[in-house]
């Protein structure tokens, strides 16, 4: 947190000094004075890390919120909690209201994701219900008003309100509006617009009922936790919150708030590598405690020092070990970290190798093309006569266009489409592409991995099989892998293939150490019609497509190439594919 002091030069003994504090957008606990004060007191050691608890209440005595199924049409989620025995004064009350406004503007995205309602619990009676009704059936006195309005009338009334008119569009055109009632059918609120006047909180309020309706349940939980943890400090039982049970129409129920700690394992070596300072174990633990993170030392299976970090409900910004390392750096002090000059950048071995391949193929008379990484589902599978086994392709959720539904699993769709869009170009057409494809991979933390491929295509009136075959031989030659007899692992050889995109009997596989690393052949005539599209198939019927797919795996290490450790301009001969392809 960076602080900037204003008016210090002009201030006299009688003038007040104003501090401007910049708060990170994801530190919701620092959006109010209570959170800032607690964070500072913990940081400088005046207070221990707060322990937030949920009051132990039997099921029959616990307040309940019943959710009607119609709410799924507009705002399906609601979470609730109670602050018992709270004491307000003017400063605390204003801070309570200001925190709601700041949360509405920040994580709530101007109430579109979450809307907060706070009520004087002593003026209403549970159990409560969360419903979605037609506007004509909702009638109540809104906050700061004296007469009753129907929901439809209320929308017209607030169109002239500078503060509330910007929220009307969220529900205005919906056939049903969300509304919360108590046991006596008293309206608590019409989220996300306005609360009811009946349950308005005042400086005399002792028990506060908080409800958050939302379209995003995760954000609703964060907002509720922020509200109750920040102001439970003023409760009779400090840092204790009373839970509320939310009961859904299908019988399922959840109890909120959830103030349990979230635990993660973080290695000391990971923290020191990111921070750039050789910190000791006790020092790291102390720095994390300053940031309100419980850190307990443990030993991992490989005998490396590991911390079990317990994240409190106030720190929803801690999602990954890198966030823990960032907090260590903040507590240590950015200005205290020694400045170092980073090493000069250089191309990754795989990228350098790819550039050398590009240069060699370009010198063989082929033109490089760059195509979209995304393609349609049909292009990726059925157009290539391939079936989706549900374990290969990464499919885009809710694609904006039918042209971008899948992350490509081959370079073939792109180069075939390139020919189709250049049907008027003089023949022959000789193109190639070196690029990444993406395949599902359960071993990766993101569930997928990239692989580098090379694809080349020849389109002409005469047979060009020998051109593509020659390109294969040239690429293998320049990387130092000779042609060998079948079964000989010292080089590569070709054998009959059965790839669906190629013509049967007119294709071959490239074999290295007993495994297929690529294929080439004449593109199947059914694929010509797709590549040309829109009645242009006959124009290219006299042309023949020759293509080669030669694979380079993105995940393999290329550090074994001595030549790749040198500059890209050095001699290309002498590279040994044997080390590169040993994982095959």
Statement: residue 577 has pLDDT above 90 = no
Looking at the domain assignment, is residue 544 inside a domain?
Answer: yes
Can you tell me the mean pLDDT for 285-314? Answer: 86
Helix (H) or strand (E) holding 566: none
Which domain CATH number covers 284? 3.30.56.10
Strand partners, 150: 139
* 137 and 120 within one domain: yes
The residues near 461 (Cβ < 8 Å, ≥ 6 apart) are 427, 428, 542, 543, 544
pLDDT in tens, 241-273: 999 999 998 889 999 999 999 999 999 999 999
pLDDT in tens, 112-168: 999 999 999 999 998 999 999 999 999 999 999 999 999 999 999 999 888 999 999
* 222 and 269 within one domain: no
Looking at the domain assignment, is residue 41 inside a domain?
Answer: no
Statement: residue 210 has pLDDT above 60 = yes
Boundaries of domain holding 70: 59-255
Of 298, 313, 336, the one marking the end of a domain is: 336
Which of 321 and 558 is assigned the larger pLDDT? 321
Choose from 157-161, 176-180, 464-468 the range with maximum mean pLDDT: 176-180
Provide the pLDDT for residue 18: 78
* 532 and 511 within one domain: yes
Q: Mean pLDDT lowest for which of 1-5, 38-42, 72-76, 413-417?
A: 1-5
* 444 and 369 within one domain: yes
Q: How many residues does the chain have?
A: 584
Specify the residue for token string 């957008």: 25
The DSSP annotation for 385-436 comes to T----SSS-EEPSS-SSTTSSEE-S-SHHHHHHHHHHTTTSPSPEEEEEEEE
Q: How far apart are CA 158 and CA 193, in angstroms?
A: 9
* 311 and 393 within one domain: no
Looking at the domain assignment, is residue 51 inside a domain?
Answer: no
Of 201, 232, 255, the one marking the end of a domain is: 255
* 268 and 218 within one domain: no
Question: Phi, psi at residue 214, to the nearest 5°?
Answer: -160, 160
Residue pair 529/537 in contact by the 8 Å Cβ criterion: yes
Of 294, 314, 336, the one marking the end of a domain is: 336
* 522 and 373 within one domain: yes
Q: Which of 83, 95, 62 is nearest to 246 (CA)?
A: 62
Looking at the domain assignment, is residue 45 inside a domain?
Answer: no
Q: What total of structural domains would you count in the chain?
A: 3
Q: Which of 54, 29, 52, 53 is nearest to 254 (CA)?
A: 54
Q: How far apart are CA 547 and CA 520, in angstroms?
A: 5
* 250 and 169 within one domain: yes
pLDDT in tens, 32-58: 999 999 999 999 999 999 999 999 988
Provide the pLDDT for residue 555: 27
Looking at the domain assignment, is residue 49 inside a domain?
Answer: no
Question: Phi, psi at residue 288, to the nearest 5°?
Answer: -70, -40
* 395 and 501 within one domain: yes
* 247 and 155 within one domain: yes
* 126 and 270 within one domain: no
Question: Phi, psi at residue 273, to the nearest 5°?
Answer: -65, -40
Specify the residue for token string 């074999």: 511
Which domain CATH number covers 143? 3.50.40.10
Statement: residue 9 has pLDDT above 90 = no
Residue pair 294/310 in contact by the 8 Å Cβ criterion: yes
The residues near 511 (Cβ < 8 Å, ≥ 6 apart) are 486, 492, 493, 494, 495, 517
Which of 520 and 533 is assigned the larger pLDDT? 520
Which domain CATH number covers 567? 3.30.930.10
* 172 and 93 within one domain: yes
- HSE-CB of 191 using CA atoms within 13 angstroms: 32
Provide the pLDDT for residue 529: 52
Provide the pLDDT for residue 547: 54
Looking at the domain assignment, is residue 53 inside a domain?
Answer: no
Choose from 11-25, 64-78, 529-543 the range with maximum mean pLDDT: 64-78
Q: Which of 241, 222, 258 is nearest to 106 (CA)?
A: 222
Provide the pLDDT for residue 305: 86
Specify the residue for token string 């993406």: 438
Looking at the domain assignment, is residue 424 inside a domain?
Answer: yes
Looking at the domain assignment, is residue 36 inside a domain?
Answer: no
Which of 462 and 138 is assigned the larger pLDDT? 138
∠ CA 156-162-166, nearest 5°, is 70
List Cα–Cα distances, 282 to 243, 262, 288, 295, 517, in angstroms: 37, 21, 10, 10, 52
Provide the pLDDT for residue 123: 94
Mean of per-residue pLDDT scores for the chain: 84
């Amino acid at each position: 947190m960076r602080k900037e002091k204003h008016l210090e030069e002009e201030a006299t003994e009688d003038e007040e000094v104003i501090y401007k504090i910049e708060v990170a957008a994801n530190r919701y606990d620092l959006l109010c004075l209570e959170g800032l004060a607690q964070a500072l007191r913990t940081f400088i050691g005046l207070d221990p890390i707060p322990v937030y608890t949920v009051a132990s209440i039997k099921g029959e005595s616990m307040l309940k919120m019943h959710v009607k199924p119609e709410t799924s049409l507009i705002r399906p989620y609601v979470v609730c909690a109670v602050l018992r025995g709270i004491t307000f004064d003017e400063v605390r009350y204003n801070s309570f209201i200001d925190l709601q406004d700041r949360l509405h503007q920040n994580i709530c995205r101007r109430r579109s994701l979450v809307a907060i309602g706070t009520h004087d619990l002593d003026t209403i009676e549970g159990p409560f219900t969360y419903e979605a009704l037609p506007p004509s059936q909702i009638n109540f006195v809104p906050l700061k008003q004296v007469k009753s309005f129907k929901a439809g009338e209320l929308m017209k009334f607030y169109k002239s309100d500078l503060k509330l008119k910007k929220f009307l569009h969220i529900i205005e055109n919906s056939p049903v509006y969300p509304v919360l009632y108590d046991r006596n059918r008293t309206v608590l609120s019409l989220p996300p617009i306005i609360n009811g006047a009946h349950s308005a909180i005042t400086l005399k309020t002792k028990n506060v009922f908080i409800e958050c309706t939302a379209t995003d349940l995760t954000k609703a939980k964060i907002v509720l936790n922020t509200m109750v943890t920040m102001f439970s400090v003023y409760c009779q039982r400090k840092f204790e919150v009373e839970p509320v049970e939310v009961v859904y129409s299908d019988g399922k129920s959840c109890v909120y708030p959830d103030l349990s700690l979230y635990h993660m394992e973080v290695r000391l070596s990971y923290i020191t590598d990111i921070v750039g300072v050789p910190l000791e174990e006790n020092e790291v633990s102390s720095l994390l405690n300053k940031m309100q993170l419980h850190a307990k030392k443990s030993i991992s299976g490989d005998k490396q020092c590991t911390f079990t970090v317990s994240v409190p409900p106030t720190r929803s910004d801690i999602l990954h070990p890198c966030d823990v390392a960032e907090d260590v750096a903040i507590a240590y002090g950015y200005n205290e970290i020694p400045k170092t000059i980073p090493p000069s950048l250089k191309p990754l071995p795989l990228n350098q190798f790819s550039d050398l391949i590009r240069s060699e193929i370009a010198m063989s008379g082929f033109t490089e093309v760059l195509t979209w990484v995304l393609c349609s589902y049909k292009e990726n599978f059925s157009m290539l006569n391939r079936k989706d086994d549900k374990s290969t392709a990464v499919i885009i959720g809710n694609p904006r266009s039918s042209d971008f539904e899948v992350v490509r699993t081959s370079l073939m769709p792109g180069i075939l489409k390139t020919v189709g869009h250049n049907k008027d170009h003089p023949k022959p057409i000789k193109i190639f592409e070196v690029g990444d494809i993406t395949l599902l991979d359960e071993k990766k933390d993101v569930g997928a991995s990239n692989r580098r491929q090379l694809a080349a295509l020849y389109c002409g009136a005469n047979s060009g099989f020998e051109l593509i075959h020659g390109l294969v031989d040239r690429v293998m030659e320049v990387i130092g892998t000779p042609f060998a007899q079948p079964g000989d692992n010292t080089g590569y050889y070709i054998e009959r293939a059965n790839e669906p995109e190629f013509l049967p009997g007119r294709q071959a596989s490239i074999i290295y150490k007993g495994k297929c690393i690529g294929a080439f052949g004449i593109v199947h005539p059914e694929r010509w019609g797709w590549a040309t599209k829109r009645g242009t198939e006959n124009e290219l019927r006299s042309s023949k497509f020759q293509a080669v797919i030669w694979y380079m795996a993105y995940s393999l290490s290329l550090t074994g190439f001595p030549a790749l450790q040198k500059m890209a301009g050095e001699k290309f001969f002498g590279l040994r594919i044997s080390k590169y392809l040993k994982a095959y």
